Structure formats: structure tokens, C-alpha cells
Amino acid sequence: MNKKGIERNIIVLLFVLVLVIFSFAERDSKKLEKLYTTAQLLKESSKALSEVATNPPAKANPNN
């Protein structure tokens, strides 16, 4: 192979490598985003549950 052929093969290899790395990074970032939003929802729901547990709502009195 001549020098231009080797350079072209290296460029193609690097391009494919970059595509693979970015696809893995995108997949991992989506996983992290999902985990973050799930953690935030759990945090908010546990906070709401603790507020309800400390301050239970007043029961409706049927005799009124």
C-alpha cells in the first residue's frame, strides 16, 4: 500500500472509532438522564409522603 492508502485507512478507522464512541456516550447520557429524573421523582415523592405523615389531612366530619 502506498502512503495515501494508509492515510485514508487511518482516517476511516478514526472516523468509525469516533462514531462508536459518540454512540456509547449518547446511550450512557440517556441512561444518566433517566436515572436523574427517577431519583428526583423519588426524592419529591418521599418528601411529599413525609409531609403527609407529619401533617395528616383533617378528616371530614359527617355530623356537620
Alpha-carbon span 62 to 64, nearest angstrom: 6
How would you write the pLDDT of the chain (64 residues) with one tens digit per residue? 799 999 999 999 999 999 999 999 999 999 888 888 887 877 877 777 677 667 766 665 666 5
Q: Cα(64)–Cα(58) distance, rounded to whole angstroms? A: 14
Whole-model pTM: value is 0.55
Q: Identify the residue whose cell numbers are 433517566.
A: 34
Distance CA 49, CA 11 (A): 57
